[in-house]
Amino acid sequence: MPSWRIFWLTMLGRSAPQAAAELAFTHTEIELLEHIVHDTPHNAQAPPLVRNVIRLAQLGGYLARANDPPPGNTVMWRGMRRLTDIQIGYELALKEVGNCKNEDALTADHGFPLHVDGSASVFVA
C-alpha cells in the first residue's frame, strides 16, 4: 500500500474538507466504511470526505472525540490496512468461493451485516 496515499488522505481531510469523498475513496471503500464504522456525534455532521477520513482513522484506533486533534498518519495507515483486508474479503465473498455461487454470496445486502462496536476494535458478523 503506497505510503503517499496515507499521507495524502491525512492532508486532504485537513486542507480540502469540502471535497467529494469520491476524490479520495473508491465506491467500494465508501460503501464498506458506511457499513462497518458507526458515526459518532463528532463526525455525523462532517462533510462526506472528512466523515470517511474519520471512519478510516477509527478502523485504525482513532477515538473521534470532540476535542481530539485530526487523525494522523499512524491511525490512517492502520485503518487503511484493515480496510484493505476487509475489502479483499468482501470481494472474495462476491465471487464463487467453495460451494457458494455468486448469487448466494454473503454480502452486506444479503444478511451479512458487518459492523464495529463503539470502540472500533472488534468485528462482529
* Structural domains of the chain in order of their starting residue, each with its CATH number: 3-124 (1.10.740)
d(CA 80, CA 53): 10
Angular region, 61: left φ>0, alpha ψ -120 to 50, beta rest: left
Give CA angle at 44 (69, 35), nearest 5°.
105
Per-residue pLDDT of the chain (125 residues; tens, 9 = 90+): 679 999 999 999 999 999 999 999 999 999 999 999 999 887 889 999 999 999 999 999 999 998 999 999 999 999 999 999 999 999 998 885 555 555 544 444 444 444 444 433 334 44
Is pTM beyond 0.85 here? no
Cell representation of residue 83? 480496510
Element (H, E) at 115: strand 115-116
